[in-house]
């Protein structure tokens, strides 16, 4: 079950009881690499198509020695950096990050 923004993502069993540890461990991961460096990371609920706006995406930036310098988030419709599950994985390179 997915609750409103800023609330935990939980799964429930057939009786409606929360399945313990069902929140962050039940995510699908996608990665986009340049060489050996992870450039984009994305998480969504299992079975989520890469073409729907239900992904959390981040851009990772490295220095010349391949040390991670920063992780930035795509901007939402208001121009604010957002870590919400509101983005399309397939559009990751076209997003603006801050």
Per-residue model confidence as pLDDT tens digits over 27-63? 899 999 999 999 999 999 999 999 999 999 999 999 9
Tell me: pLDDT of 89 over 70.
Answer: yes
> Is the separation of the CB atoms in 62 and 91 below 8 Å?
no
Evaluated on CA atoms 20, 26, 76, 67, the torsion sign reads: positive
Gap between the Cα atoms of 28 and 47, Å rounded: 8
What pTM does this model have? 0.74
In sequence order, the β-bridge partners of residue 31 are 41
The confidence score (pLDDT) of residue 1 equals 37
Q: For residue 86, is pLDDT > 80?
A: yes
Confidence grade of residue 14 (pLDDT, cut at 50, 70, 90): low
Q: Identify the pLDDT of residue 75.
A: 97
Indicate the SS3 state at residue 86. Answer: coil
């Amino acid at each position: 079950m997915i609750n409103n923004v800023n609330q935990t993502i939980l799964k429930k069993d057939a009786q409606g009881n929360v399945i313990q540890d069902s929140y962050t461990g039940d995510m699908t991961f996608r990665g986009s690499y340049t060489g050996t460096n992870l450039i984009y990371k994305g998480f969504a609920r299992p079975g989520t198509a890469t073409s729907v706006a239900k992904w959390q995406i981040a851009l990772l930036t490295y220095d010349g020695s391949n040390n991670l310098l920063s992780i930035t988030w795509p901007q939402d419709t208001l121009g604010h950096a957002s870590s919400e599950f509101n983005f399309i994985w397939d559009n990751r390179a076209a997003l603006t990050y801050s």
